[in-house]
Structure 1
Amino acid sequence: MGLRIKIGATIGATAALAVLVTGIQVPSMLTEREREAALDRLRFAERVYEQSGRAAYGAQLDPPGMPAPLLEGLARGHRSTYVQDTPKGKRIWAGTATGGHYLVMTTRRSPAVGEVEQVMWKSGAVGVGVAGLVGVAVAARFGRRLRVSARTAERIAEGELTARLPEHGRDEITALARTVNAMADALGSRLQAEREVTANIAHELRTPVAGMLAAAGLLSDGKAENMVRERAERLRDLVEDILEVARLDNGAEEADLRWVEVAGLARRAARAAAEGRTAPGAPVPGVRVDVVEDARVRTDPRRVERVLSNLVSNALRHGSAPVVIEVAGPLVRVRDQGPGFPSHLLSCGPQRFRTGAAGTGLGLGLTIAAGQARLIGAGLRFGNPESGGAEAVLDLGEPAATDTGAAGSRPAPAPPAP
């Protein structure tokens, strides 16, 4: 049930309760006043009866048909009144015991009371309907503001830190929007500061790391020397990864789109990833490439290879053999038989410096893959198939991947295959 329906129903129910209470209380109060008036007339008739011995002003002595509740009250020696429902309307009885008899007066309830009661119920029903409609309209207005705020908050949560909630008005929703905007400003400033610090550190490390690699290259062959060279190369790759993430964050990268065959990109990426994961003297891990259907797409081949090699490297590092790249037209799937992607990655996407396996990475590989995919306009999805393992799907057929012009322009036709 939506918010506007809940608010409208609440306002309508409150109005209905008010109508119900008023519709019961007001006629009851009017009837009570008529009973008091009947008692006043009875007292006057009682004084006349005591003085003259005759019933006057419509009073009767021991009339037939007196209601039992009235008789019970008179038997206790009290003046009593009773409202009796009859086919012709309500009838008010008033009586008292005097001189061994019951002096009783009867009157019809004023028709105005019944008319007031009917008017109240009818106008109350109309009021409940109007209140419900007004409640729905007011709730719809607030609901629209809340939906806009929720969509903007989702954009902020997805990383669009420039999005802001509207701050029109002085109510609680505006106060909430102002607080969320302040939080987004603080979060954006903190993230930007962290990115700048990380990029600066990586940039400053490039020169000493390059010198370390040059010095390691002068070492003679040996187990210890090879280990030094391997660690220096790993440190260089890490510095380059951090700088690449910083460039993607700052929007300093541009895609170089051209027509290429997807199968060829997949084979080159598989070979590069397998060789990159190979230690000196160790066998090259096998990565199988299955081409169900090849396709030619307009994309940046270097960045596609980068995305696929990172996906394969992640599968080789965290998954289990066999690692398979399946090409199905513009769709490229990278599967392994490992434990699958962690739940936080499936729900929030890749996050730098956070990996599913402790001590085996910094989470930059998938972060770079996601950033490069966004840059070329490709879709990248992560999932854990029911058959087990992990699966990453790169979709090179999305419109942004084949559109190099302005928004709304048509992609250029693919050239014929050679």
Structure 2
Amino acid sequence: MRALSSLRWKIALTTTMVCCMVAAALGILVHNVVARQIVGEVRKEADGDLDHALGHYEYGTAHGDVNAALDPPGLPEQLRQLVARGDTGSMVGRHEGKPVMWAAAPADEHALAVWIPYEETRDRLRDIDAAILASSVLAAGVVALAGLFLADRISRRLTTTAAVARRISAGDLDARVDFPADGDTRASAGEDDPRPARSRDEVRDVAHALDSMAGSLQDRLEAEKRFTADVAHELRTPLTGSLAAAALLPEGRPKEMINDRLKALHLLTEDLLEISRLDSGVEQAELARVELGRAVRRAVAATGLDASVRVLRDTVVLTDRRRLDRILANLLVNSHRHGAPPVEVTVEGPVVVVRDHGPGYPPALIEHGPQRFRTGDPGRGRGHGLGLTIVAGQATVLEITLHFANAPDGGAVTTLRLPVGRLTEGS
């Protein structure tokens, strides 16, 4: 959200800066053109007065109604030097403390100069500059608001798309981007928009790509779930028959080996069936009040695996005892199969922590969670990645928060946090 908000302000600021640069360039251009025109008119008037004064000077008559004098004290030095070289010129200066436009020409070793008031012209130029500045500020403000509005629309649509992407990554594959009609875009559920595109819309393209990806991913996962369920159901009947037939074999090492492999395959099939039921989303927990510390001790003892149990603070929770036992049993089996002793189980209020002292969980499992048929480190023992997948599925049914991590001094740490809203503290 911060990144998108930053994008909104960046677009608005960039638009405003471009507007200010264009306004400044146009203001300077207009100022130069208008100033050249106005000053040119005043200079032309001063040159006319100078010609009039020169005519009167040649005939030895009065200068008439123009302000003229020989070598006036206020004549700018630059203009005085220009006249001394025999040239005629004009420039802005001051006379008796007031701004004037000077015009001077040589007259018998003297400088004949005229001056006309320039204060009104200067005020006029200042008024024009103020108008240009006000117009630029107004234009920049309007463009900034328009840019902020457009950037906000883009930002809100990107925020919606990002939120849907996060929901999809969290497992909600039914999430889709749905822009309102006034945005001229509408991302349908994995299908192309039937309405003809009126203009190129990159955000709409991103939304369509996201919806298409989610739809494709959902189809593949559904196909995988159906395949898993079908395989498990198809294997269950022949496996049951095979186990019964194996029981009729004569005692000996061959029978033990066959029974061992058939039982392993039977457990794998039952795990697949359980996963398919969890994937279907129809599993319902049979909730009852359970003393968490006592339930954990019983579940650990029932596995027959070596693990210590510490109850720092017991509590009564509303949960499904059978599903909780299944979660703890799978975690202990995983700790003994892929970790190393000692295996420790700690109960503190609604939190249960299972820890071993092995190499820990692989980074991919911590980042993405357990995935079926991936063990992360096949070299450390047999496994199909189904145990932790079942743990995650059963935790979802019980609304238990599940967290996988590694201890700083080594070992895998699994934390189960039961919903606080269902708790009644006990002794």
Q: TM-score, normalised by structure 1?
A: 0.80
Count of equivalent residues: 395
Aligned AA (2:362): P
Is 2:187 the counterpart of 1:183?
Answer: no
Equivalent residue for 1:209, pick from 235, 239, 256: 239
- Counterpart of 1:376 (choices 383, 387, 398) is 398
Residues in 2 aligned to 1:72 and 1:241: alpha-carbon distance in whole angstroms: 107
User: Where does residue 130 of structure 2 map in the other structure?
Assistant: 118
Distance 2:78 2:41 in 1: 19
Q: Which moved more, 1:120-129 or 1:389-398?
A: 120-129
Could you tell me whether the CA contact under 8 Å between 1:378 and 1:398 is conserved in 2? Answer: no
Distance 1:134 1:94, change over 3 A: farther
1:10-21 equivalences under 5 Å are: 10-21=14-25
Q: Which amino acid aligns with 2:170?
A: E
SS in 2 for 1:235: helix
Aligned to 2:415, the other structure's residue is in SS state strand
Alignment of 1:27-66 (within 5 A): 27-41=31-45, 44=48, 54=58, 63-66=72-75
* AA aligned opposite 2:243: L
Q: Distance in 1 between matches of 2:264 and 2:230?
A: 19
Alpha-carbon distance in structure 2 between the residues aligned to 1:87 and 1:196 = 101
Conservation of the 8 A alpha-carbon contact between 1:379 and 1:398: no
Secondary structure of the residue aligned to 2:36 is: helix
2:378 corresponds to 1:358: yes
How far the C-alpha of 1:219 sits from its partner, in A, is: 3.6
Structure 1 CA distance for aligned equivalents of residues 94 and 353 of structure 2: 83
CA distance in 2, matches of 1:76, 1:62: 15
Structure 1 residue aligned with 2:29: 25
Alignment match of 1:333 (pick from 340, 348, 353): 353
Structure 2 counterpart of 1:200: 230
Q: CA deviation at 1:155?
A: 0.3
Within 5 A, what are the aligned runs for 1:287-298? 287-298=307-318
Q: Which amino acid aligns with 2:408?
A: E
Unaligned runs of 5+ in 1: 276-284, 403-410
Point out the more displaced range, 154-163 or 170-179. Answer: 170-179
Instruction: Tell me how large the CA RMSD over aligned residues is.
Output: 3.5
Higher mean C-alpha displacement, 58-67 vs 231-240: 58-67
2:285 counterpart letter in structure 1? A
CA distance in 1, matches of 2:85, 2:169: 78
User: Residue 163 of structure 2 aligns with which residue?
Assistant: 151
Closer, same or farther in 2 for the Cα pair 1:136/1:87, shift >3 Å?
farther
1:257-302: CA deviations, max 9, x gaps?
11222233323332444x4xxxxxxxxx511112222222111111
The offset of 1:174, in angstroms, is 2.9
Cα 1:266–1:388 change in 2 (3 A) is same
Aligned-pair CA distance for 1:147: 2.1
Q: Aligned partner of 2:32: which letter?
A: S
Preserved contact between residue 149 and residue 177 of structure 1 (Cα < 8 Å)? yes
Aligned equivalents of 2:96, 2:149: Cα separation in 1: 44
- Counterpart of 1:227 (choices 247, 257, 271) is 257
Amino acid at match of 2:155: G
User: 2:268 is matched with which residue?
Assistant: 238
Mapped to 1, the partners of 2:106 and 2:378 lie a distance apart of 98
- In structure 2, list runs of 5 or more residues that go unmatched: 185-200
**Residue type of the partner of 1:236?**
H
- Shift of residue 346 of structure 1? 2.0
Q: Which residue of 2 aligns with 1:386?
A: 408
Q: Secondary structure at the match of 1:256?
A: coil
Residue in structure 2 matched with residue 305 of structure 1 by the alignment = 325
Q: Which SS does the other structure have where 1:191 is aligned?
A: helix
Change (3 A) 1:225 1:94: farther
- In structure 2, relative to structure 1, the CA distance for the partners of 1:328 and 1:139 (3 Å cut) is same
**C-alpha offsets along residues 358-385 of structure 1, whole Å, 9 cap, x if unaligned?**
3543222111111111111111111223
Report how far residue 225 of structure 1 moved. Answer: 3.6
**Alpha-carbon distance in structure 2 between the residues aligned to 1:133 and 1:69:** 50
Q: Structure 1's 118 and 327: CA in aligned 2 closer, same or farther, altered over 3 A? A: same
TM-score, normalised by the number of residues in structure 2: 0.79
- After superposing the two structures, state which structure 1 stretch, 89-98 or 316-325, moved more: 89-98
Range 345-354 or range 324-333, more displaced: 345-354
Amino acid at match of 1:8: A
Amino acid at match of 1:291: V
Q: 1:13 Cα shift?
A: 2.8
**Correspondence for 2:190:** none
- Which residue does 1:163 correspond to in 2? 175
CA distance 1:82–1:194, shift in 2 (3 Å) = farther
Pair 1:9-2:13 in alignment: yes
